[in-house]
Structure 1
Amino acid sequence: MHELTDNALMLKVKSGDLNKMGLLYERHKKRMFGFFYNMNGDAMTSEDLVQNVFVRMLKYKHTYTGEGSFLAWMFRTARNVNNDHFKKNKQNYNQYDIASVEYKLEAEDTIGRVSDKKDNINYLKIALQKLSPEKREVLVLSKLKEMKFSEIGAVMGCSEGAAKVKAHRALKDLKLVFHQMQIR
């Protein structure tokens, strides 16, 4: 039996086969949790927000067209859930915990050669906290979730080119803050 694509599953959900949402949940719950955890650093809140995304996807299944990337539609929903949660609870986005993504520094040299990883990870935590939620979000989607810029554009409501520019500027700002902290 061949495996249905995410688009096909969501179209079945839209047409009334609500059991297919369970398959989508199983496929994407870890990815969604990682997105939320990278945005807010709180595991319990992240678990709740993952549930809220899939509830909202069910509620707004009628808006799904099947055109474009399912991931972009799902992450746009996740972005809205995240924003709504923090507006409602008036919590600060700057509670970011980079410890869960320490491995990325080992895999990529995005910030430059480092001599003492622990110090640099602490600087990175602080530098990420100083970025705006939008800049942090574009970095999480592009660098940690490794989404294509066309998908990031769809999530953020902008063109692929604008998403590239936002990611470039966010990374540039992160590097600047990081290097300024190292000088001190």
Structure 2
Amino acid sequence: MAISDTTAQRYTSSDPDVRLMLRVRDDDAQAFEQLVENYQNRLVSLMTHLVGKRDMAEDLAQDVFLRVYRARKRYVPGSKFSTWLFTIANNVASNARRSLARRQEVNLAARNSGEENFNGLEVQAVAASGQMPTRQLDKAELRDIVNVAIATLDQRQRMAVLLNKFEHLSYQEIGEVMHLSGPAVKSLLSRARANLRDVIQPYMQQGQKVE
């Protein structure tokens, strides 16, 4: 879809990262280094949640930046820079997950489905909560439980939650990243929240809720 001059000017004036990317388009190496610095940790964190392996997440983040650099000459600002970047990241992560699924097919077939996976989740979450009814969960424990719960979501729900809660993207921006309509994003997030509640609630009941 063509991007109008008015749209490009709006994002150029409002988003400093768009302005950095336009400098990258003009082969400004320092601007590219600044974008990497701005997004490296965020991308690695996102990819770690999506693929479950830190070393692989770091490689995928580098792949994303490589794609950004290769696309620099075609870049026209039609959205916030972060929206454009996470669209690339979503595509890279989807390709990586498909590759992982093919490699792990034999191993997955050998496992007991469902019950064994749930038991693994239960062990991790119970260990984090301590199963102590009178003890308040601290922030680190709560974070561990939430991370375990996020890992139980399907990939689309997980991506939507990460973009919404960790990257603070709007429904419209998530829709752009995931190629979904606004109502579809809202429905996806609603199902994800329900699934997260189902996982987290039993462990939260072991202690007092952290505000």
TM-score, normalised relative to structure 2? 0.63
Q: 1:180 to 1:85 in 2, by over 3 A?
A: same
Query: Is the 8 Å Cα contact of residues 153 and 159 (structure 1) preserved in structure 2?
Result: yes
Q: 2:17 maps to which residue?
A: 6
1:153 to 175, 195, 202: 175
Q: Equivalents in 2 of 1:46, 1:130: separation in Å?
A: 18
Deviation at 1:158, TM superposition (A): 1.9
- Residue 25 of structure 1 aligns with an amino acid whose one-letter code is V
Query: Is the 8 Å Cα contact of residues 35 and 145 (structure 1) preserved in structure 2?
Result: no
2:36 is equivalent to residue 25 of structure 1: yes
Q: Equivalents in 2 of 1:9, 1:125: separation in Å?
A: 32
Q: How does 1:35-54 map to 2 (within 5 A)?
A: 35-54=46-65
Q: Equivalents in 1 of 2:157, 2:40: separation in Å?
A: 23
Q: 1:18 to 1:115 in 2, by over 3 A?
A: same
Q: 1:124 to 1:17 in 2, by over 3 A?
A: closer
Q: 2:3 maps to which residue?
A: none
Q: Equivalents in 2 of 1:49, 1:121: separation in Å?
A: 24
Q: How does 1:13-92 map to 2 (within 5 A)?
A: 13-90=24-101
Deviation at 1:173, TM superposition (A): 2.3
Q: Equivalents in 1 of 2:188, 2:153: separation in Å?
A: 12
Query: Is the 8 Å Cα contact of residues 51 and 97 (structure 2) preserved in structure 1?
Result: no
Q: Equivalents in 1 of 2:147, 2:42: separation in Å?
A: 21
What's the secondary structure of 2:77's corresponding residue?
Answer: coil
How many residue pairs align between the two structures?
161
Q: 2:5 maps to which residue?
A: none
Deviation at 1:180, TM superposition (A): 7.2
What's the secondary structure of 1:27's corresponding residue?
Answer: helix
Q: 1:48 to 1:161 in 2, by over 3 A?
A: same
Q: 1:116 to 1:125 in 2, by over 3 A?
A: farther
Question: Please, what is the CA RMSD of the aligned residues?
Answer: 3.1
What stretches of structure 2 of length at least 5 have no aligned partner? 1-14, 105-116, 122-133, 206-211
Q: 1:26 to 1:174 in 2, by over 3 A?
A: same
What stretches of structure 1 of length at least 5 have no aligned partner? 98-113
